[in-house]
Structure 1
Amino acid sequence: MDNSFINNLSNLSVAERFMRYVQIDTQSDPNSVTFPSTAKQLNLSKVLLEELKAIGAQDVELDENGYVYATIPSNTTKDVPAICFCSHVDTSPDCSGTDVKPIVHSNYQGQDLVLPDDNAVVIRFAEHKDLADQIGNDIITASGTTLLGADDKAGVAEIMEAAKLLIEHPEIKHGDIKILFTPDEEIGRGVDFVNLERLGAKFAYTMDGEKAGTIEDETFSADAATITIHGVSVHPGFAKGKMQSAIKIASKIVDSLPTDRLSPESTSGKQGFVHPTGISGSVEKTTISFIVRDHDTANLEKHEAELEAVAKAVVAQYPGVTYTFDTKEQYRNMKEVLDQYPQIMEIGLEAIERAGMKAERRSIRGGTDGSRLSFMGLPCPNIFAGGHAFHGKMEWVSKQDMEKAVKTILHIATLWEEKA
């Protein structure tokens, strides 16, 4: 197919679709024991279910775990691998997602964006470097009291818009296109109960990245670590020479961590880190929770050994105090899997170029559903969705970048068919 057909598609409704979706509160909750972690995520999932049925998608289902599945059947005689596009419906627990008011700043000209419901929240041109690429575009923000939800409702809206266009334009040839919307990605549980046999895809792409034109094939490898301090509890009125407060000892362990390296504040690029995420407990027993990250999986063990050495050295100063140190695997660098299937990235990069952008391969200082899906047998890089400044009140996305993402999805679909 001539690239120009897809690139000349106009009157796309992805921005309007996105602004409808962000007004539905779907914040997930890391402290919940249910799945999904919040019932309100299903409010958007139910909307997507009905919209998929309305546009003519097949095998549409919202299952008991909150996953939305759908198929756009092949319209070619070629034997094309089934390709999935995936995004998550939940938003981050880090910032409120209640009563989001999306605002369009049309024909952006490089000015600082002062958000109307809290004038102290200012998206400054000097601090958000990617705004330099948005001159003349239409920027969508929240109003200053909530996050926007571009992570990842931009991806959800882009997949939905692309699905509608594939059904409306049978001249766009493709194999089976599978759609998957997941809950609870933001709290690391997004694919805990996904049914890959039900999905039926060979390869996948998450639409959950940032800058237009980027595709990511590398994530952190990730572990969780927990240090539990067992102190000596004595009535504080009679504690002299006896009490050993687990709270204070835990605080000293955190204070003993390196500050010029191995921390999120002091690292960038491919550098890993150890990061305390919480302390809870009492004089008798206190627990410190950590995340451990590195692009090189082998380095996790080194970082964890250094962390335990710090804990051991601190605890040794307190007679009668003991500690335990535990680690748990969270996810692994998806590049270890994706390098075995180079065609996935080659098609993703070519699709971005066909959509009129300079393609850029990136690594993520984080993880996606695609990290775990890759190791579950569904190789899955991450494509830009266009959002920026995730998880906070300064989050923004441009209408034009979302439209580019829609066209990238369409080009990926046609490229798999062409090369079959």
Structure 2
Amino acid sequence: MVDQQRLIDEFIELVKTDSETGEERAICDLLTQKLTELGLDVVEDGSAQLTGHGAGNLVATLKGTVPGAPKIYFTCHMDTVAPGKGIKPQINGDVIESDGTTILGADDKAGLAALLEGIRLLKEKGLPHGQIQLLITAGEESGLIGSRHLDMSLVDADFGFAMDSDGEVGEIITSAPSQVKVLATIYGKAAHAGVNPEDGISAIQVASRAISKMRLGRIDEETTANIGRFQGGTASNVIPERVEILAEARSRNPEKLRRQVDSMVQAFHEAAEEFNAKAEVETRTLYPSFHFSEEDLVVQKAKEAVMRIGRTPRIGASGGGSDANVIAGHGIPTVNLGIGYQNIHTTSERMPIKELVKAAELVVALIEESAKVGVAATGSGSLGK
């Protein structure tokens, strides 16, 4: 049913619309126009006032035609990473790519194009459906800031699907980790490095001692930790009195995450005590984890839709977070679906045309499968807080 040329043209239009994270106004206005023309009720929430980004999140609602059918939602994000200005998409054989000077922006404009084509097909074919909401977020590439400030009073859904995972169409991410940021500031004591170093306390040395005692990288199959930024000091002849460290820990297991974060915080404090320095450590949970089983309705419907389009469902777990984490954390069961983009966040990003077509087919199949009347209760899976 997919109009391949229409889908390609729309994808190209979307990726040619600049939308680096923080500068989403143009793409937000374009999407608002397109969704309104398709007959959806479109609302932009007030999150931009809180995030400082160029636009808020869009919540677009299409009333259902099947009484009693579950209410579903889809989510994609409108922003891209840099370099994402002046993208010049090219069709090379069976893939779409940039000219090599920018990203392509398939993350997540492939998801957006698939959703738009899916809704068009729904309307053109008069297919039955329950209520559908599209939650299109700003600032996903800035630590999910858009979805973290999403006005949930606008959201009305029993379960939903994020169209924003790597892997071919058919991949179903049913589990993803929570992330905790760890921000540490170490205060030592300045002194001349050549004249009286014994009077100083090197904040760099203290921080290094703490980091040397941490377990980092791959902790286990569910848990990771990383030191992302380490900065401080002024000159080689000054004992550095202040250092800032930005770190993170992730896990799909809430207890493992708690233990990992506690051990990192403890390492900073113990090293500071050892050197008679001071450590201030702040932790902040960015988003919760989620886990759903194959018995949960959201997973069942995803599997049925994948099979409906001739693919074999592949259940997987992710090591990264997405808007699915945030929205699932509000109690709305959500899985993240592969849409086939490749080499995202690089200038060699590619979008296979066959995967773009399959992603659009999947949108329609998800809507049709979810509209079947007489399904069981939605179930809530496991949502890590």
The letter for the 2-side match of 1:90 is: D
1:415 to 355, 358, 369: 369
- Residue 291 of structure 2 is aligned to residue 308 of structure 1: no
- The correspondence of residues 16-415 of structure 1 with structure 2, limited to 5 A, is 16-28=9-21, 38=22, 40-55=23-38, 57-65=39-47, 66-76=56-66, 78-92=67-81, 95-106=82-93, 138-170=94-126, 172-188=127-143, 189-211=145-167, 212-236=169-193, 238-255=195-212, 257-258=214-215, 262-263=216-217, 266=218, 270-282=221-233, 283-312=240-269, 314-318=271-275, 320-335=276-291, 338-339=292-293, 342-415=296-369
Structure 2 Cα separation of the partners of residues 381 and 67 of structure 1: 20
Superposed CA offset, 1:132-159 (max 9, x none): xxxxxx1112222221111111111111
Is the Cα contact below 8 Å between 1:46 and 1:62 reproduced in 2?
A: no
Q: Specify the alignment match of 1:115 in structure 2.
A: none
Instruction: Classify the secondary structure of the residue corresponding to 1:376.
Output: coil
**Aligned-residue offset at 1:69:** 1.9
Structure 2 Cα separation of the partners of residues 310 and 196 of structure 1: 38
**Aligned-residue offset at 1:235:** 4.6
Is the Cα contact below 8 Å between 1:389 and 1:396 reproduced in 2?
A: yes
Is the Cα contact below 8 Å between 1:205 and 1:380 reproduced in 2?
A: yes
**Aligned-residue offset at 1:214:** 0.5
The letter for the 2-side match of 1:21 is: L
The letter for the 2-side match of 1:68 is: L
Structure 2 Cα separation of the partners of residues 61 and 271 of structure 1: 37
Structure 1 Cα separation of the partners of residues 97 and 212 of structure 2: 38
Is the Cα contact below 8 Å between 1:72 and 1:163 reproduced in 2?
A: no
Structure 1 Cα separation of the partners of residues 12 and 343 of structure 2: 17
**Aligned-residue offset at 1:237:** 6.0
The letter for the 2-side match of 1:58 is: L
So what's the TM-score if we normalise by structure 1?
Answer: 0.80
Is the Cα contact below 8 Å between 1:12 and 1:403 reproduced in 2?
A: no
List gaps (5 residues or longer) in structure 2: 48-55, 234-239, 375-385
Instruction: Classify the secondary structure of the residue corresponding to 1:418.
Output: coil
Is the Cα contact below 8 Å between 2:172 and 2:336 reproduced in 1?
A: yes
**Count of residues paired in the alignment:** 358
Superposed CA offset, 1:377-410 (max 9, x none): 2221111222122211222111110111111111
Is the Cα contact below 8 Å between 1:74 and 1:176 reproduced in 2?
A: yes
Percent identity at matched positions?
24
Structure 2 Cα separation of the partners of residues 12 and 179 of structure 1: 23
Structure 1 Cα separation of the partners of residues 153 and 242 of structure 2: 44
List gaps (5 residues or longer) in structure 1: 1-7, 29-37, 107-137
Distance 1:180 1:321, change over 3 A: same
**Aligned-residue offset at 1:312:** 4.4
Is the Cα contact below 8 Å between 1:352 and 1:359 reproduced in 2?
A: yes
Superposed CA offset, 1:165-212 (max 9, x none): 112221x11111111110011122121222233232222211001222
Structure 1 Cα separation of the partners of residues 78 and 70 of structure 2: 26
Q: Specify the alignment match of 1:122 in structure 2.
A: none
Structure 2 Cα separation of the partners of residues 179 and 292 of structure 1: 31
Is the Cα contact below 8 Å between 1:221 and 1:331 reproduced in 2?
A: yes
Instruction: Classify the secondary structure of the residue corresponding to 2:312.
Output: coil
- Calculate the aligned-residue CA RMSD, in Å: 2.2
Structure 2 Cα separation of the partners of residues 42 and 83 of structure 1: 26
